[in-house]
Amino acid sequence: MLNQINIAVLVSGGGTNLQALINAQDSGIIKSGKITLVVSNNKDAYALERAKKANIETAVLLKKELGSQEIFEDKLIETLKAHNIGLIVLAGFMSILSEKFTKTFEGRIINVHPSLIPSFCGKGFYGLKVHEEALKYGVKVTGATVHFVNEIPDGGKIIMQKAVEIQDGDTPEVLQKRVMEQAEWIILPNATEKVCSELLKV
């Protein structure tokens, strides 16, 4: 019987959410899964350095080099299967995955999004842009969401959410940092453990 799910974390940038996952694994918050692979679609992502420091295998897949999104996804599926991955965590992964991909790993892909879905989400809402839009709209509360990934961008079933207050004078950068510290870095590891423990029962 399996006692740990092999986790792949998909990244594109700084990797602070990956770091939160690594820290949660070290402190025992994540115990039903083990991060065995980090895949980046950006060769310069600092997240790759974080993975290497934690002795986690890395892979870089570049759509530009591979020629198309379809070939990129085929190569990604091949890599994930070769590593016997049971859960895919999108942690700041800035690429929308096709239905073919999401169906291949149905119920086994989760994503962290920096707002309270269904606000400020969907195509075009990623990274700092999400916080810019929240400030522009004038909402007083925002937050983060971890959800399952299906073919609809940010449209899968919600697993966890946490609210964060907006303060007078917030800039997108200040708000992004608060949402990460008070929400993303807490709910992503907790949701990862929850989903892994449920997948162990399947």
List contacts with ligand GAR (CB under 6 A).
13-17, 47, 91-92, 112-114, 126-127, 130, 180, 184
Q: Are 146 and 185 in contact, with CB atoms under 8 Å apart? A: no
* Strand-pair partners of 110: 89, 148
What's the closest the beta carbon of residue 14 comes to ligand GAR, in angstroms? 4
Q: Distances from the Cα of 113 to the Cαs of 3, 12, 80, 118, 186, in angstroms? A: 28, 14, 22, 10, 13
What's the closest the beta carbon of residue 201 comes to ligand GAR, in angstroms? 28
CB nearest ligand GAR: which residue? 92
Question: Among 83, 113, 131, 147, which one carries the catalytic annotation?
Answer: 113
Nearer to ligand GAR, 19 or 32 (CB): 19
DSSP codes, 109-132 = EEEEESS-TTSS-STT--THHHHH
Compute how many other C-beta atoms are within 10 angstroms of the C-beta atom of residue 15. 23
What's the closest the beta carbon of residue 113 comes to ligand GAR, in angstroms? 5
Active site residue 113: yes
Nearer to ligand GAR, 17 or 200 (CB): 17
Looking only at the bridges linking them, the beta strands covering 5-11 and 33-40 are: parallel
Nearer to ligand GAR, 16 or 69 (CB): 16
What's the closest the beta carbon of residue 111 comes to ligand GAR, in angstroms? 7
Q: Give the residue numbers annotated as catalytic, written as ranges.
A: 113
